[in-house]
Amino acid sequence: MTQDTLAQIHCPVCCTSSSHNLAVQPQDYEYDVDIAAQFSLCSCTSCGSEFVWPRPTLAQLQHMYPENYYAYDQEMGHFWQTLYDRRCRAEAKRLLKLTSRRPIRLFDVGAGDCRHFRAIGSIGGFEFSGVEMNKDMARAACDAGFDISDGTFEEYNPTERAGTVDILTMNHLIEHVIDPQAMLKKALTLLADGGVFYGRTPKLGSLGNRLFGRYWGGYHFPRHLHLFTKQSLDALLHDSGFRDVEIVEDLNLFPALSLQNLLLGKLGLPLTIDGGHTRLWTLLVAITAPLSIFDFLVRRGDCMIFIARK
C-alpha cells in the first residue's frame, strides 16, 4: 500500500487520515477464510487503534464467518457449559446493580441462540430482546420465545424500540461492526435516559499483544474490524455522547488462542481445527491460565469491560 493510498484512509475510530500498514500482518489461523486475503491491518498514529482496510461491505462481512464459526456452535460440552452458565449468572448480578429499574429491558447485539439469556434469566429481573446476524440462530431464538431480529446491527431499524432499552450489551461485538461511530449513535438511540451501554472488547497494548505479536488471539483477523487501546475506546465513547465511562480489566482466554495461533502459524504444527479450536483447546487453556490471571492482576490483560451511560 503506497503512501498516497494511505493518505486516503480514515481511521474508523477517530476519523483521522494518519495511518500505516502493520509491518507484519496477522492471518486467519482459526478458519482460513479465502476473503481474508483481500484485507490488511492498519494502525492509526493519532489514536493508536488498529483497523482492517479496506472496510468490508455487509456482503463481504457475511463471508468472514464460516458455518462452523465458534459462536454458532450449539454444543459446548458439559464442562464448558457449566462454566459458561456460572459466568452468565455472575454477569447478571453485575447488571442488576447498574440500574434500579425492574424488570431490566436488556437488548443484546449478537444474541446468538440466546443461551446466555437462559442463564441470566435464571437470576430473574430481565426482559430480553436483541439482534443476531445468523438467520438460523435468530430463528431458533424466536422459536424459543425470545424477541430477536435477524440481520446485522448495521441493518437493524431502532425506531420501534427507541428510548426503551435499560441496558444494551455488546460482548465481543463492538470490534466486529463496520462503522463503530454509527453503531454508537444507534446504541444511544435505543437506550432510555440513564441507560447503560455495557460490553467487552480486546485491548491493544496488553502483555499478550506485545508478547505474541501477529499471533495474538485478539486480532481474530479479519473479523475484528477495529481494535482499541483503553484510551481510544474511552475517547470514542465520550465523543459519541456517552457519560460516566468506566473501563476495567476482564479475565479472558485470549492467551490460549494466541498460543494456538503460534503453534499453527510459527511452528507449523499440523493441528486439526474445528470451530476455531484445536482438540487440545482445554489443555491450552490450562497451560495459559497462569498468564491470563497474571495479566489480569497487573491490569495488562487482553480484554476490557466498558460501562457507559446515556
3 state SS of 248: strand
Ordered by where they begin, the domains of the chain are 3-309 (3.40.50.150)
Confidence (pLDDT) at 1: 46
What CA–CA distance (Å, rounded) separates 237 from 309? 10
Can you give the pLDDT of all 310 residues of the chain as single tens digits?
444 445 578 999 999 998 999 999 999 999 999 999 999 999 999 999 999 999 999 999 999 999 899 888 666 777 788 888 899 999 999 999 999 999 999 999 999 888 899 999 988 899 999 999 999 999 999 998 999 999 999 999 999 999 999 999 999 999 999 999 999 999 999 999 999 999 999 999 999 999 999 999 999 999 999 999 999 999 999 999 999 999 999 999 999 999 999 999 999 999 999 999 999 999 999 999 999 999 999 999 999 999 999 9
Residue 131 has phi, psi (to 5 degrees) of: -140, 145
CA separation, residue 85 to residues 115, 123, 204 (Å):
9, 11, 28
pTM of the predicted model, to two decimals?
0.94
What is the separation of C-alpha 237 from the centre of its chain, rounded to a whole number of angstroms? 16
Instruction: Name residue, grid cell 462452523.
Output: 68
3 state SS of 119: helix
Neighbours of 92 (CB within 10 A): 21
